[in-house]
Amino acid sequence: MTGQGNQPTLLTCGRRTLSLSSARIMGILNITPDSFTDGGLLYRNGRLHADALCRTAEAMVRAGASVLDIGGESTRPGAAAVPEQEELDRVLGALDIIASRFDVIVSLDTSSPEVITAGAAAGAGMINDVRALTRDGALAAASSSALPVCIMHMRGEPGTMQQAPQYYDVVAEVSAFLQQRGAVCEAAGIAPQQLIYDPGFGFGKTPSHNFSLLRHLPDIVALGRPVLTGLSRKSMIASVLERDTSQRLPASLALAVLAVVGGASILRVHDVPETVDAVAMVTAWAEASL
């Protein structure tokens, strides 16, 4: 596995810590009716299904997820924005249930400063923002929380991001964006050792862009921050294989293995048990090669 030597190996996540000495698994919990693969599983007809949330969260924790990522607003291509109060209600309800039942770091998949602030006060341990803290007030909220922050590259907004995205050099442009936003975060008071970079697979990128970023992931890792990848069940798989989202597990595992070999520190996934096993094999292979 490549390029992790100069990265922080420990994140301070509120009352918990997350070691990045090996790749960690982040389980996805979409508290939405319209996410691309599991919308409506945990939230439908205007309410959170607490029993389903508990069962899903418990299964992920038991399988080996180090982090659970809660999102109250879908960011799939073409997704509509969610009113701030509605997102707040969805996320805080789920956070309260998980924080009271499970010993696990909870990440907030949000761009809202209000959700960041309220979630940090309620026990969240990480911020995961697809908009890289560009919304008004988000930088200050994230800095005040003192939590680790994952900033992601996205070209445009979810509603428009897949309308013919173009790059001269996708790896160089994504790298430059992450460095620039990282510098802005540090200037706002976010500790550099608390920053995580996400190249944003599927967010304003063609399949060719996505595969190029994955092939050159060590270049992103070389920027000196832990790298999070979100490749699970993404449409880049369908560009190669005619598989709907429910049939993309084998391909998702292949992409996860490639991400770990490329130096990824955190894998954001839907299928936790299978990915944990795949990462264990990569880790055993890497250790045997030393």
Closest-CA residue to 191 (of 97, 127, 95): 127
Q: 253: which 2 tokens?
A: 């595992």
Three-state DSSP state, 23: coil
CB 199 within 8 A of CB 227: yes
Residue type, 42: L
Pairing label, strands 126-129, 105-109: parallel
Place of tokens 């770091």: 105
Active site residue 234: yes
Torsions phi, psi for 196 (to 5 deg): -125, 140
Active site residue 62: no
Residue type, 208: S
Distance of alpha carbon 232 from alpha carbon 29, whole angstroms: 13
CA within 13 Å, CB half, 11: 31
> What secondary structure does DSSP assign to 55-79, as a single string?
HHHHHHHHHT-SEEEEESS--STTP
Distance of alpha carbon 17 from alpha carbon 288, whole angstroms: 27
Residue 262 exposed, middle or buried by CB count within 10 Å (0-12, 13-18, 19+): buried
CA within 13 Å, CB half, 8: 18
Three-state DSSP state, 126: strand
Three-state DSSP state, 280: helix
- Annotated active-site residue in 155, 205, 234, 248: 234
Residue type, 180: Q
Catalytic amino acids?
234, 268
